[in-house]
Structure 1
Amino acid sequence: MAFEPDYDFWLLDLDGTLVDVEWSYTREVFDRVGDRLGREFTDREADILWNGLTGSRDRQLEEWDVDPREFWDAFHEEEDPLVRAEQTYLHDDAAFVADLDAPVGLVTHCQEFLCEPVLDHVGIRDWFDAQLCCTEETGWKPDPNPVERVITDLGVAHNGHQGVLAGDGANDVGAAWNAGLDAIHVERVGHERRGQCVLGDYRVQSFDDLY
């Protein structure tokens, strides 16, 4: 499918799509969470959960006999917003977002107390006309609800306007399609590490490949 850059609006995921975190930070957080839960997380397990390599993180936790609520409570207790922001870097190919001549929204699973310092640290807060950090109330991608809420906040009519959602995971593609949008999948980790191939309307290894 040839890329059509003339979208009426763009939606983007954050972690793994526009930004990433140094592995040392991820490893340290999982070490502390493991201490709280009395269960060690291997490098592979930490990678799977941090990057959502198998889709639903809650489902993956349940398969490992880890209670998702206990895990996330511990995980958020152990995440330091300022340290995480300092360990976060912006992907070079994400710079195209600043030049988009259309409304741009952010739809992320990153929690607000973490998201805000990250946006400030990497200097991309002004890239977005609307943003939403998913919660139990809004639903989680691939649920289309958080996507549709951002579309509403952007002030673009869903009918008659063509939009696209770009993200690094299957949940992003699913959310796009469930909301009637095109989907761009940017493969940051590689098919071998992911263990599967994620389909999308467009599949790239870098946003530079779109142009």
Structure 2
Amino acid sequence: MNLEMRQKILSVCQEKIRQKGEKVQVSFYAFFANKNDQPEALMSVARWWIEEHQLNHFEKATKIYAMVKAYDDKGLESFVKGFNHLTLAVKDITRSLDFYVNQLGFRAEVRWAKGAYLSYGSAWLCLSLCLDKKEEVSEHYTHYAFNIDAASLAEMRNNPALDIWQTNQSEGDSLYVRDPDGHQLEFHLGSLSSRLASLKETPYQDLEWLSCHKKA
């Protein structure tokens, strides 16, 4: 559910409680003028009500209010599920690979014309060739990626206050957001394993496998 829908639920529950007392019950239809009103929003509330929480058809308005309010109070922390990967803009892929593999002990997974994927334990590092017109490294693509679930990602997309800095063009859905200081963040559905699996089917230009993940 997006922020607007959650605020509507809170408002309706408050009004029901004010009018009929704390024992009043509501169904998820109470938040819509009719069953055909806002079908997408209706389905999102229905999924939250039935699939996520297995609620009865009628529940106390006080219970629903408390559940939605608690969800709202969590804020963005409820969206983020952990760190996903780090992408660094680099000037020379070969030089950077040598440094991270031979000096720092990273494991090289794959490389291609404009990048490379490495791992270090569970950490995923992406090196991306990014040069400006003067052939100097352009840091505009350096960013920090976090894990997120599909429902939270969809909700974030409905937040008009977020500053989006690029659209997703890679495997796995993503949302790219700038923070107030201009740091570039990514909220990503996927992992290094899913990315490598996708490259076996649709390889990047000049892709070279550097690890045991090589396609049979």
Query: How would you bin the TM-score normalised by the shorter chain?
Result: under 0.3
| TM-score calculated relative to the size of structure 2 | 0.23
Larger-Rg structure: 2
| TM-score calculated relative to the size of structure 1 | 0.24
